[in-house]
Amino acid sequence: MKRLFEIRTLRVTFYVLLFIALAFATFTTAFAQDTTPTDDEVNAIAKQLYCPVCENTPLDVCPTEACRQWRELIRQQLAEGKTEEEIKQYFVANYGARVLSEPPRTGFNWLVYILPPVFILAGAFFLFRSFREWTKPRAVEAGTGAETEAGASVSEDDYIARLEEELKKRK
């Protein structure tokens, strides 16, 4: 009888502890949803933007008062539930496209994305072509010393023609 009582007590204690643990987890989750966005969340967007005052400085590392205000603005907009894209659009509308770390892929901006690969490919092609030329020099036998390059080509063609003729005969 006593043992049965102990088992019941133990079971009740277990359920009470389980309830407390679940309740705590639920409250913790609810509390997390209410917090303001963290610095990491703010900086994830800030590093995609540049300070419009001190140029070439990403917003996440810029120490000026203006940048501090803009980081707070990002935090405020994140807390309002705005998406990353909406926040970036807000910055473009207010301060211009120059605040974006990557130029928007429209109009002339496409040149920034297209031209470098085109030039790299063209450069690689010409390098390849030049190296091939350098490694395959054409040996020309100058019979009389006055034979021209064109002459060499003609004699070579004659030789190939004769060779092909001989091969045909042997078939």
* Helix (H), strand (E) at residue 56: none
Is there binding between residue 66 and another protein (CB under 8 A)?
yes
Residue 35 tokens read as 């917090």
State both tokens at 95: 């301060």
Main-chain phi, psi angles of 49, to 5 degrees:
-120, 155
Query: Looking at beta carbons only, is 94 or 155 nearer to another protein?
Result: 94
Return all residues near 71 (Cβ < 8 A) that are at least 6 apart.
42, 43, 46, 59, 60
Does the protein bind another protein through residue 80 (CB under 8 A)?
Answer: no
Binding another protein by CB under 8 A: which of 43, 44, 52, 57?
52
133 makes contact with another protein (CB under 8 A) = yes
Angle at 95 between CA 90 and CA 101, to 5 degrees: 85
Q: Is 100 in the site for another protein (CB under 8 A)?
A: no
**Which residue's CB is nearer to another protein, number 86 or number 165?**
86
The contact set with another protein (CB under 8 A) reads 52-53, 64-66, 69-70, 72-73, 76, 92-98, 108, 111, 115, 122, 133, 137-142, 145, 149
